[in-house]
């Protein structure tokens, strides 16, 4: 098992769900495939979906919903098999 930190590609506000009324894209313990959306990053009122770079299982979120993040800051940790 390797743990990979998925990081914010640019600074902004991180959202775990597509809108306040929706369920989060991911929950801890959930299996994900590379390319799945892990959350949204808002920069200057534009929202970008952030894709997972690896497949595996979500170990934990490091930042909370609506957190202000810097470029390169870890968003969540994923455990992979290889």
Partner 1 sequence: MIKTLLIANRGEIALRIVRAARELGIRSIVAHSSADAETLAVQLADDAIEIGPPQASKSYLNAEALIDAARQYQVDAIHPGYGFLSENADFADAVHRAGIIFVGPSGDIIRRMGDKAAARRTAKAAGVPVVPGSEGEVPSVEQACRLAEEIGYPIMIKASAGGGGRGIRIAGNREALMKQMPTAQTEARAAFGHGGVYLERFIPQARHIEVQILGDGEHVVHLFERECSLQRRRQKLIEESPSPALDEATRAELCESAVTLARHIGYSGAGTLEYLFDEHRREFFFIEMNTRIQVEHPVTEQITGIDLIREMLLIADGKPLSLQQSHIHRSGAAIELRLNAEDPDQDFRPSLGTIETLRWPSGPGIRIESGLYPGYRIPPFYDAMLAKLVIWDQDRPAALARARRALDELILEGVTTTASLHVRLLADPHVRDGNVHNQFLEQWLEHYQQEVSA
Nearest CA to 42 out of 8, 74, 6 is that of: 8
Cα separation, 39 vs 50, in Å, equals: 6
Nearer to partner 1, 19 or 33 (CB): 19
The minimum distance between CB 29 and partner 1, in angstroms, equals 28
How far apart are CB 80 and partner 1 at their closest, in Å?
30
C-beta of 3 vs 49, nearer to partner 1: 49
- Partnered with residue 50 across adjacent β-strands are 39
| CA gyration radius, the chain | 12
Shortest Cβ 81–partner 1 spacing (Å) = 35
20/29 with CB nearer partner 1? 20
- Chain positions contacting partner 1, by CB under 8 A: 10-13, 19, 21, 42-46, 66, 68
Residue 19 near residue 66 (C-beta atoms within 8 A): no
């Amino acid at each position: 098992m390797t743990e990979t930190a998925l990081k914010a590609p640019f600074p902004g506000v991180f959202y775990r769900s597509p809108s306040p009324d929706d369920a989060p894209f991911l929950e801890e313990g959930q299996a994900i495939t590379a390319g799945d959306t892990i959350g949204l990053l808002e920069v200057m009122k534009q929202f970008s979906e952030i894709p997972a770079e690896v497949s595996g299982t979500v170990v934990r979120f490091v930042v909370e919903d609506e957190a202000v993040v810097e470029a390169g800051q870890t968003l969540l940790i994923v455990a992979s098999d290889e």
